[in-house]
Structure 1
């Protein structure tokens, strides 16, 4: 993955917009739409994006174990 492609991926993760992400990564405005769409079909770029989105999702949502732990502390009066 080139530095420009990585920048595209990082921008896409932030915005969800392939065209704007291509522009922000330094691609030409004239070709941004097609480059953005093309980049999303490249297996290594898609894998990177999917991996990062999964990491973000995993960190954003409490697991069942975490939730039960907090609820248990609340029931026991250990947490307010």
Structure 2
């Protein structure tokens, strides 16, 4: 089965949904009618291609929040060498 591309409106909906977590508001910001935004938002979240896009973007965002092994080792090395200073907020 061929993977369908998102329309510009669907992509905008998905990007807004990633920011807010609110399907209705995301649908409105993407240009859907406020009268149908609630149902369109919920329908969009059930579409496999939209769900895959949202899941992939959320995973990408999450992976940027977590330090990788190299970053952790560089930090520990800098601490051991006394190259970093503790920040004290007064």
TM-score using structure 1 length: 0.90
Partner of 1:48: 53
Residue of structure 1 aligned with 2:24, choices 4, 19, 31:
19
Higher CA-based Rg = 2
Alignment of 1:1-80 (within 5 A): 1-80=6-85
Structure 2's unaligned 5+ residue stretches are 1-5, 86-90
Q: Any runs of at least 4 consecutive aligned residues in structure 1 with deviations exceeding 6 A, and if so which?
A: none
Deviations 1:8-55 (A, max 9, x none): 001001111000000000001111001001100100000001111111
CA RMSD of aligned residues (A): 1.2
Which structure has the highest helix share of the two? 1
TM-score using structure 2 length: 0.81
- The total of aligned residue pairs comes to 80
